[in-house]
Amino acid sequence: MADTTEILRMSGVDPRKCMRCGKCTATCPSYNEMDIPPHRFVYLVEQGRVETLLSCRTIWKCLSCFACVERCPRGVEPAKLIEALRLTKLRPQGGDHLQPAQLADIEDDDLPQQALVSALRKFSK
């Protein structure tokens, strides 16, 4: 299982730059659904709490919209940390969050291919 060093290397993020202003969480369109909001997520990476983060809901709720990345006054880029944790969770065998078989129930006539491709990229390996 990945340690903090690996998460930092994958993401290219330095969580020590965070000054805990909370702007990432304030601007996150998904924060209400997260158990660990973005500013706290950054703090827990800094604290080395990788196991906690691998089992949190936040990694499936992030939209990769990059609002937090764009608006962080310190250039911390929280979404890149969430991406690194999500991939670390997905990569081991059996780590998929979304199975292709589930898609048949979801798809309607108008759903664009882009939605399926993107969701499978974000939620499965």
Partner 1 sequence: MLTYSYYPGCTLRTKAKELDAYARASAAALGVELVELPEWQCCGGVYSSAGNEPVTKLAAVRALIAARDAGTPLVTVCSACYNVLAQVNHELRTNPAFAAKVAQYLELAAPYTGETEVLHLLQVLRDHVGFEAVRAAVKHPLTDRRIAPYYGCLLLRPGKVLQFDDPENPQTLEALLTALGATPVITAERNECCGGYRVVEDASFAGQRSDAIAASAADFGAELLITACPLCRYNLQKTGRLPVVYFTELLAEALGVKEAAQHG
Binding site for partner 1 (CB under 8 A): 9-12, 29-30, 33, 60-61, 63-67, 69-70, 77, 79-80, 83-84, 87, 98, 103, 106, 110-119, 121-123
Tell me how far, at minimum, the Cβ of 101 lies from partner 1, in Å.
13
Segments in 67-112 forming alpha helices (H) = 67-71, 78-90, 103-106
Chain position carrying tokens 């911390």: 76
Could you tell me the smallest distance in angstroms from the CB atom of residue 51 to partner 1? 19
Q: Nearest distance from residue 89's CB to partner 1, in Å?
A: 12
Pairs from 15-21 (Cβ < 8 Å, separation ≥ 24): 15/42, 15/43, 15/45, 15/46, 15/76, 15/81, 16/46, 17/74, 17/75, 17/76, 18/42, 18/43, 18/46, 18/74, 18/76, 19/73, 19/74, 21/73, 21/74
Give the shortest CB-124-to-partner 1 separation in angstroms: 11
